């Protein structure tokens, strides 16, 4: 089953201050409660593409997912696209827009789940999976906002 999941985050700083926090993928578990691990396994090339990271998530309803992301298009501080591989496959896109009170970031995951038990129950459990995704994304937004408002910015 394919999922197209869109989240919008409102962040209290301009995109040029948000971008370095997003680009520091190794640090995501510090502020994102559902992110149990994030490890860069290959650094980005000069244009920002090719960054490979392995992510491990804990769902709010208990299951875990491990997948990789590899940047395929990077336009700091406005856009990043990535290929997704592993227990999820597809694409992820982050689009940042400056707004009067900070940044509006739209995150889109267009993915298929590869874990067999999730695929087996997806026809009836898809609403639970969508809810879990939305809850995890809201927690990520809250965590990033908390980091940004507690740390001195320069």
- Say which residue, 123 or 78, is predicted with more confidence: 78
Contacts of 90 (CB under 8 A, 6+ apart): 2, 84, 109, 110, 111, 112
The domain locations on the chain are 2-150
- Does this model's pTM top 0.85? yes
Return the sign of the alpha-carbon dihedral for residues 122, 126, 132, 136.
positive
Tell me if 29 sits within 8 A of 40, measured CB to CB.
no
Residue-level pLDDT at 144: 98
Is 129 a residue whose pLDDT tops 60? Answer: yes
pLDDT digits (tens, 9 = 90+) for 77-107: 999 999 999 999 999 999 999 999 999 999 9
Q: Cis before residue 77, ω within 30 degrees of 0?
A: yes
Tokens 């507690």 appear where? 150
Tell me if 99 sits within 8 A of 105, measured CB to CB.
no
Is 54 a residue whose pLDDT tops 60? Answer: yes
Is 154 a residue whose pLDDT tops 90? Answer: no
Could you tell me which CATH class the domain 2-150 is placed in?
Answer: alpha beta
């Amino acid at each position: 089953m394919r999922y197209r999941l869109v989240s919008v985050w409102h962040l209290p700083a301009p995109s040029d201050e948000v971008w370095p926090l997003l680009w520091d993928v190794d640090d995501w578990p510090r502020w994102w409660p559902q992110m149990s691990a994030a490890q860069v396994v290959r650094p980005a090339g000069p244009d920002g593409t090719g960054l490979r990271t392995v992510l491990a998530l804990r769902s709010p309803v208990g299951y875990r997912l491990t997948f990789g992301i590899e940047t395929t298009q990077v336009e700091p501080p406005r856009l990043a696209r990535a290929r997704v591989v592993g227990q999820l496959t597809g694409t992820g896109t982050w689009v940042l827009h400056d707004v009067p009170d900070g940044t509006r970031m739209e995150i889109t995951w267009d993915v298929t789940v590869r874990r067999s038990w999730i695929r087996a129950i997806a026809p009836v459990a898809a609403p639970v999976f969508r809810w879990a995704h939305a809850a995890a994304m809201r927690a990520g937004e809250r965590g990033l906002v908390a980091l940004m408002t507690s740390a001195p910015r320069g």
